[in-house]
Amino acid sequence: MFRILAALIIASAATTASAQATKVKIGFVNTFSGPNAFIGNDERDGFELALDHLGRKMGGLDVEMIYEDDQMKPDVGRQVTEKLIQSNKVDFISGFNWSNVLLASLKPAVDSGTFLISGNAGPSQIAGELCSPFFFSTSWQNDQTPMALGETLNQRGVKRLYILAPNYAAGKDMAAGVKKTFKGEIIGEDYTRWPGNVDFSAELSKVRAAKPDAVWVFYPGQAGAQFFQQYSQAGLKEQIPLYSVFTVDALTLPFIKDLALGHLSTQSWVQDIDNPVNKRFVADFRKKYKRYPSYYSAQHYDAAMLIDSAVRAVKGNLADKDGIRNAMRKADFTSVRGKFAYNKNHFPVQDFYLQEVIKDDAGEHTMRKIGVVLQNHKDSFAEKCSMTW
C-alpha cells in the first residue's frame, strides 16, 4: 500500500511538472499593413516597452510574442486568431484595434477558454450581452469617450450639432455615445464608407449648408488626418468649431500639425497625467521610439502589465484559469492612468479627461490635460452583462 501511494504521489508530481509552463505565449492581433499600419505598430510598441520594463519575463517565465496582421478585415482577424489558438497554442491574445475585427474574433477565443485582452476596441455588444469570463479590456467601452465629449459640448454652450463617423461598429457606438449626453439638437448625421474613404467633400458641403454650432467627428488613423486637412481647405475651420474623439492624437498630429492647435477632444489617457508610472512610460517611449506615445500605446502597455499581474498571481501556473481570471479582476498593477479598477463586465472604471492640442517647448505638437469631464465612469452596458463576481 505504501509503495502504491508513493508511486501515485510521484506520478502526480511528474504530471504537474510536465504541465507547468516554461514560457508565456502571447498572440497579438493588429493591423500591420496598409495605410493604418502605424496604429498597429504604435500598439505593438507600447506592449513591447512594457516587456522591456518587465525584463522580458512575466511571473518569472520568458515571454514569446507572436504577431499577426488582421489587415483591417474581420474574416482575416478571425483566421489568425484561430491559428494562434489551435496551432501556436497561446495562453493570451491581445491587440485588436478595430471593433468589427474583435467581434469576429471573440468566439474562437471564448470557446477555447483563451484569455483575450483588448487593448483598444470596445464594442457595446462585448460590454453587454456578449461579456465573457475570458475577455478583458484595458481601454474603454466605445461609447464612453464620446459621452465625455457630449458633456463638454453642453458645457461650451453648443445647441446644434452635426455628426460624422465611419459606417462600422465603432462608428455607430461612438455616435451613440455623444448622443447619450449631448442635450442639444442633432441637425445632421452621416456615416461614411469604411474603410478606404478619404474624400469628405460631399459631407462637408452638407455641413456648410446646415450651419451647425459645431461638428463632431470620429475618424481614426489616416481618415482623421485627411478629414482635418479637408475641413480646413473647405474654409470651415474658422467658421464652425470642430470636436473629435480618436481623430487627433500622437500619430495623426505629425500630419495635421498647426491645423489642430487648440483642438479639444476627450480621452482616458493623456501624456501629462501626473504619476510616476506614466512619467516613466512617456520618457522611455520617447527615448526608444523618438516620438510621443498615444493612447493606443498606453493602453497596450497596460495590457501587458495586466497579463503580468495575473501570471505572477498564479506563480506561473498558466493552467489555473480561475486564478488568472480572479487576478485580472483585481487589476493588481499600477496603470499609466493611475487609478484602475474593473466593472463586472471586465471593462475599466476610470476618469475621462478634456485635452487640448499644444506645442511643447521644442515646438513639437502634443496634448495637454485640461481637466476631468467624467470621474470613475462606468459604461452603461454592464447592466446587460450576466457575469457576477
CA angle (98, 101, 103) in 5-degree steps: 105
User: Residue 330 contacts by C-beta under 8 Å, 6 or more apart in sequence?
Assistant: 309, 313
User: pLDDT tens digits, residue range 343-378?
Assistant: 999 999 999 999 999 999 999 999 999 999 999 999
User: pLDDT tens digits, residue range 221-280?
Assistant: 999 999 999 999 999 999 999 999 999 999 999 999 999 999 999 999 999 999 999 999
Cell triple for 68: 499577426
CATH class label, 143-267: alpha beta
pLDDT at 195: 86
CA-derived radius of gyration, the chain: 22
> To 10 degrees, the CA torsion angle through 268, 270, 271, 274?
-80
User: pLDDT tens digits, residue range 12-30?
Assistant: 444 443 356 799 999 999 9
Of the candidate CATH numbers 3.40.50.720, 3.20.20.140, 3.40.50.2300, 3.40.50.300, the domain formed by 23-140+272-349 belongs to: 3.40.50.2300
- Locus of grid cell 449648408: 209
CA atoms of 257 and 280, how far apart (whole Å): 26
Domain ranges of the chain: 23-140+272-349, 143-267
- Same CATH topology for 23-140+272-349 and 143-267: the answer is yes
pLDDT at 150: 98
pLDDT at 19: 52
- Looking at the predicted structure, is the pLDDT value of residue 5 above 50? no
Q: What is the mean pLDDT of residues 102-116?
A: 98
